């Protein structure tokens, strides 16, 4: 392989250790190499950064190994060298040569020959925003699970409240749920005070729907889910406030995205968190669609095209 870099390094990253291989020397000759191992503690990673600086590496590459590459990246991104994150699927070594040292050397050889294409890593501000938007998504999924658990317990207790109230987690439904959890006897008069709006016309039917076999066990299970649900909703409110603060420098970009039909404020925030605002990192729109996993690929052999599996959710 023809060399294009005089001094570069490849890192094989693990949970506890980082194996670094530096290749250096004239492009027309076989490079010399130096290999060292560092731990992933902050002091050792700082030593790694100083060592790479001392070796005068112009480029440093590592593979995206689970979550373990992130602390290494956070320390090394402040260096004067160009830091490259490689897709682990595209830099696999030859079978039968799998050791930590060989992996680091292989990454360095590919980098020296210019055969590693860097993955998109947004700046730290966008990464922080991305953590918040993804956490909000998980919290919303948790709230849905808790709501489904409450629905299940209500059906088990033969409470047919959903026949008359489409959303039992609205104002009227929450008032009734809290009365059920507290063990109150719900009469038509009390229901009239609890429910709001159009639900008032369904009070007589609701009385029959609430004629149930609710045991103390059911109340206990509903209370667990109910308290967890309220905690999740409070957490979501705090996370959304934090997201709004992080979006302050990107108000103009947020408004432009929000002007697209079908894209609301929430979707705009997610797009900024996942893609950033600097589109120069994607040479063309084709690169962007490919990175997002919405660009169809080719899988053809012997003149036959095979179906491709749909891309899985990105964990970048």
At residue 192, the pLDDT reads 85
At residue 312, the pLDDT reads 61
In a domain, 151, yes or no: no
Q: Does residue 57 contact residue 81 with C-beta atoms inside 8 Å?
A: yes
**Region 289-293 average pLDDT:** 81
pLDDT in tens, 183-234: 888 888 888 888 888 888 888 888 888 877 888 899 999 999 999 999 999 9
Q: Give the separation between CA 258 and CA 270, rounded to whole angstroms.
A: 11
Domain count, the chain: 3
In a domain, 167, yes or no: yes
Helix (H) / strand (E) containing 60: strand 59-63
Domain final residue, candidates 182, 211, 240: 211
pLDDT in tens, 21-42: 999 999 988 999 999 999 999 9
pLDDT in tens, 70-112: 999 999 999 999 999 998 888 887 666 778 899 999 999 999 9
pTM (predicted TM-score): 0.85
Verify that 84 and 36 share a domain, yes or no: yes
- β 59-63/82-86 pair status: parallel
Verify that 103 and 15 share a domain, yes or no: yes
Cβ within 8 Å of residue 309, ≥6 positions away? none
**CA-based angle 88:94:100, to the nearest 5?**
65
Reported in sequence order, the residue ranges of 134-261 that DSSP labels E, i.e. its strands, are none
pLDDT in tens, 152-184: 999 998 888 888 888 889 999 899 999 889 888
Q: Give the separation between CA 83 and CA 70, rounded to whole angstroms.
A: 12
In a domain, 148, yes or no: no
In a domain, 149, yes or no: no
Verify that 96 and 13 share a domain, yes or no: yes
In a domain, 102, yes or no: yes
In a domain, 126, yes or no: no
Domain final residue, candidates 112, 138, 171: 112
In a domain, 135, yes or no: no
Q: Among 145, 158, 140, 136, which residue's Cα sits nearest to residue 224?
A: 145
Q: Does residue 68 contact residue 42 with C-beta atoms inside 8 Å?
A: no
**Which residue do the tokens 């191992």 mark?**
37
Q: What is the extent of the structural domain holding 180?
A: 160-211
Q: Does residue 122 contact residue 85 with C-beta atoms inside 8 Å?
A: no
In a domain, 232, yes or no: no
Q: What is the CATH number of the domain that holds 50?
A: 3.30.420.10
Verify that 36 and 91 share a domain, yes or no: yes
């Amino acid at each position: 392989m023809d060399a294009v870099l005089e001094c570069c390094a490849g890192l094989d990253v693990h949970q506890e250790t980082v194996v670094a291989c530096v290749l250096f020397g004239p492009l027309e000759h076989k490079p010399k190499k130096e290999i060292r191992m560092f731990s992933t503690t902050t002091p050792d990673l700082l030593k790694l950064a100083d060592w790479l600086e001392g070796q005068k590496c112009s480029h440093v590459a590592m593979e995206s190994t689970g979550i373990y590459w992130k602390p290494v990246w956070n320390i090394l991104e402040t260096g004067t060298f160009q830091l490259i994150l490689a897709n682990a699927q595209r830099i696999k070594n030859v079978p039968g040569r799998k050791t930590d040292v060989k992996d680091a050397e292989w990454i360095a050889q590919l980098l020296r020959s210019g055969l590693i294409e860097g993955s998109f890593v947004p700046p730290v501000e966008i990464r922080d925003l991305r953590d918040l938007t993804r956490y909000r998504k998980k919290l919303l999924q948790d709230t849905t699970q808790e709501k489904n658990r409450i629905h299940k317990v209500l059906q088990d207790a033969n409470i047919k409240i959903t026949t008359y109230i489409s959303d039992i987690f609205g104002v009227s439904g929450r008032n009734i749920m809290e009365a059920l959890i507290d063990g109150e006897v719900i009469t038509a008069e009390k229901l009239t005070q609890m429910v709001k709006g159009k639900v008032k016309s369904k009070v007589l039917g609701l009385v029959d729907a609430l004629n149930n076999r609710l045991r103390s066990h059911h109340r206990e299970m509903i209370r667990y889910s109910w308290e967890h649900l309220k905690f999740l909703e409070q957490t979501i409110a705090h996370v959304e406030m934090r997201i709004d603060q992080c979006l302050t420098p990107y108000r103009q970009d947020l408004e432009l995205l929000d002007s697209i039909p079908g894209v609301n404020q929430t979707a705009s925030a997610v797009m900024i968190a996942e893609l950033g605002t600097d589109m120069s990192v994607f040479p063309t729109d084709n690169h962007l669609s490919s990175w997002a996993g919405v660009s169809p690929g080719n899988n053809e052999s012997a003149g036959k095209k095979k179906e491709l599996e749909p891309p899985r959710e990105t964990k970048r």
